[in-house]
Amino acid sequence: MLEVRELQAGYGAATILFDVSFDVGNGEAVALLGRNGAGKSTTLKAIAGWLKPRRGDIRLDGRRIDGAPSYRIARAGLGFVPEGRRIFTGLTVAQNLEVGRREPHAGVPWTPQRLFSLFPALAELRDRRGGQISGGEQQMLAIARTLMGNPTLLLLDEPGEGLAPLVIAQLTEALRALKQAGVAILLAEQSLVLAAAIADRACVLESGQLRYAGPYGEFARDAQARAEWLGLD
């Protein structure tokens, strides 16, 4: 599905990522872990075309996508939910969804109805402006909006950041359901809260270098690795 090979990327004079390589298989959920500043967001932005990679190649379903403009990458089936949600605050919830709508290449398309049953909290907010709903609702809307484009792979950048435990629980449920529906997921996270619920494999970044790639369960059991790379105990 997604293959990242020897990816180098950075901002201005600073190089942030050094030769990062990993894969995401069909329908698989991969957690991209690392401390604050490790380079998770940079990796996702480079994949989604928000940042031009310096070197290396990125393939989606075997086709090169590195260096392509972000709208083409999105059309190729990659959905990106960036850090900070980026809701259109002047548009209503329903309109936010409509902006994301794209015809599917195959299969049953996501519709607002299906998405409202995935995120019940959104159903009553249809006509509210994006700027007037809570952070958790915005996060759900951001994911729903991207799903309206019927992506086969979903990139999520810290979706749980700053959300209350109750909202996290709802989000976890939704992500499980998504995985069930066959959507591949690449989830960037600092903690293991959401990753624990869905991740099949883990990739760990430190200072822009890949330190670990393997089964998620193995990583989660390794207390020493967790402490060293994530500062968690």
Partner 1 sequence: MMLGAYLAYSLIGRFGAGPLGYWGGVLLAALAVGALGVLLERTLLRRLYGAPELLQLIATFGVVLLIKDAALAVWGAEDLLGPRAPGLGGAIAIFGQPVPQYDLLLIVLAPIVLAAMWVALSRTRWGLLVRAATEDREMTAALGVNPSWLFSGVFFVGALLAGLAGALQLPREPANLNMDLTIIADVFVVTVVGGLGSIRGAFVAALIIGIVRALCIGIGDVALFGSVVSFAKLTLVAEFVVMAVVLVARPWGLYGQPPGPSAIAEQRDLQVPPGRRFAIAAALLMAALAAAPLLVDEYALVLGADMLIFALFAVSLHFIMGPGGMASFGHAAYFGLGAYAAALATRSMPMELALIVAPLAAGIGALVFGWFCVRLSGVYLAMLTLAFAQITWATVYQWDALTGGSNGLVGVWPAVWLSSRVAYYWLTLAIAGGAIALLWRVVFAPFGYALRAVRDSPQRAAAIGIDVRAVRWAGFVLAGLAAGLAGSLYAFSKGSISPDSLSIPRSIDALVMVLLGGLQTLFGPVVGAALLAWLQDTLARHTEYWRAMLGAAILVLVLLFPQGIVGALGAAARALRQRGIGKRAAAA
b/e for 93-102, b at 16 or more Cβ within 10 A?
beebbeebee
Give the residue at shortest CB distance from Mg ion: 41
Binding to Mg ion, residues 22-41 (CB under 5 A):
41
**Which letter does DSSP use for residue 127 in this model?**
T
**Considering beta carbons, is residue 59 or 102 the nearer one to partner 1?**
102
Binding to ligand ADP, residues 72-131 (CB under 6 A):
none
**Considering beta carbons, is residue 41 or 170 the nearer one to ligand ADP?**
41
CB of 7 vs ligand ADP, minimal distance in Å? 12
Number of Cβ within a 10 Å radius of residue 109: 15
**Considering beta carbons, is residue 51 or 73 the nearer one to ligand ADP?**
51
43 counts as binding Mg ion under rule CB under 5 A: no
By a kind-dependent CB cut-off of 5 to 8 A, residue 38 interacts, out of partner 1, Mg ion, ligand ADP, none, with: ligand ADP
- Encoded tokens for 160: 């749980």
State the Cα–Cα distance between residues 71 and 80, nearest whole angstrom. Answer: 11
41 counts as binding ligand ADP under rule CB under 6 A: yes
Strands (E), the chain: 2-11, 14-24, 29-33, 55-60, 63-64, 78-81, 153-157, 184-189, 201-206, 209-215
Four-residue CA torsion sign, 207, 36, 205, 80: negative
CB of 11 vs ligand ADP, minimal distance in Å? 3
42 counts as binding ligand ADP under rule CB under 6 A: yes
By a kind-dependent CB cut-off of 5 to 8 A, residue 102 interacts, out of partner 1, ligand ADP, Mg ion, none, with: partner 1
39 counts as binding ligand ADP under rule CB under 6 A: yes
52 counts as binding ligand ADP under rule CB under 6 A: no
CB of 48 vs Mg ion, minimal distance in Å? 13
Residues in the chain, how many?
Answer: 233
The amino acid sitting at 49 is: G
Distances (CA, A) of 223 to 66, 229, 231: 35, 10, 10
Binding to Mg ion, residues 95-124 (CB under 5 A):
none
State the Cα–Cα distance between residues 206 and 62, nearest whole angstrom. Answer: 27
By a kind-dependent CB cut-off of 5 to 8 A, residue 149 interacts, out of Mg ion, ligand ADP, partner 1, none, with: partner 1
**Rule CB under 6 A: which residues touch ligand ADP?**
11, 14, 16, 34, 36-42
